Chains A and B, each alone.
Chain A
Amino acid sequence: MNINVLKAYQDIQKIVEPSESQSPKGPKSSEKTKGFGDFLSDAVKDVNELQAKAQHQAESLAMREPGATSHEALISLQKAEMAFQLMNAVRTKIVRAYEEVLRTQV
């Protein structure tokens, strides 16, 4: 088994909060939001794809198509849920970043 909890946590952190080293030049605020925007649109795409896949597999299972296994659909459903949670986390960070920017502009 090769679960590395710390590594998983760090990976998630990296996704949700891209570090300054990824955007070294230019005004700090706009560079930061640009990085966030990319991650968010990728995350949204992921979520759509995974949810579509999960939906399709669940339907195949319900219609008892040959080759449809119960664990396949269940795993996809779980991954879709996790992708959604991740997207949510990214979205929350973006909203907070904007709020912070708005505060400092006063």
Chain B
Amino acid sequence: MDPFEVSAAGLSAMRMRVNVIAANIANAETTRTADGGPYKRKDVVVTAREEKASFESALDEMSMAKPEVAAVVEDNTPPRLVYQPGHPDANPEGFVAYPNINVVQSMTDLMTATRLYQANVSAAKALGEMAREAQRIAGS
């Protein structure tokens, strides 16, 4: 398995996760979306795509795992209802539906996701440096 591909796949998946969490935070107070109803928290489902049908062992399978975003799913837990009768998006009972987003949790998740993304950047860079060092062997 080409380590450059694996690294790139990791960067791609992690960047998407960062974007999705950032969008959640940005929309924490969005009570009305284009579809009507409050913004729904989104999450990224990552799976490992294996290229070979069968592996000699679980270890081989792991070492060739290429991460990819299988889906971006919506969180369908019921929205938070807040009593605000004067609000334009209030329902007949006077309640406004707010997105089911815990901002503090999302901020923490964002920090973790960003850190992991940066780690992948660092790893990709290290790989490039190694390849360049090998190139210096030829042609003296």
Contacts and interface: CB of A to CB of B under 8 A. Distances in A.
Interface of A: 64, 66, 70-71, 74-75, 77-78, 81
Given A71-B134, A74-B134, A64 B2 contact: yes
Contacts, number: 21
Q: Interface SS of chain B: helix, strand, loop or mixed?
A: loop
Interface of B: 1-2, 131, 134-135, 137-140
B138 A78 contact: yes
Nearest to A66: B1
Nearest to B131: A70
B135 A70 contact: yes
B132 to A, nearest CB: 10
Contacts of B1: 66
A32 B66 CA distance: 62
B139 A70 contact: no
A71 B137 contact: yes
Contacts of B131: 70
19 contacts: A64-B2, A66-B1, A66-B2, A70-B134, A71-B134, A71-B137, A74-B134, A74-B135, A74-B137, A74-B138, A75-B137, A75-B138, A77-B138, A78-B137, A78-B138, A78-B139, A78-B140, A81-B138, A81-B139
Nearest to A71: B134
Contacts of A64: 2
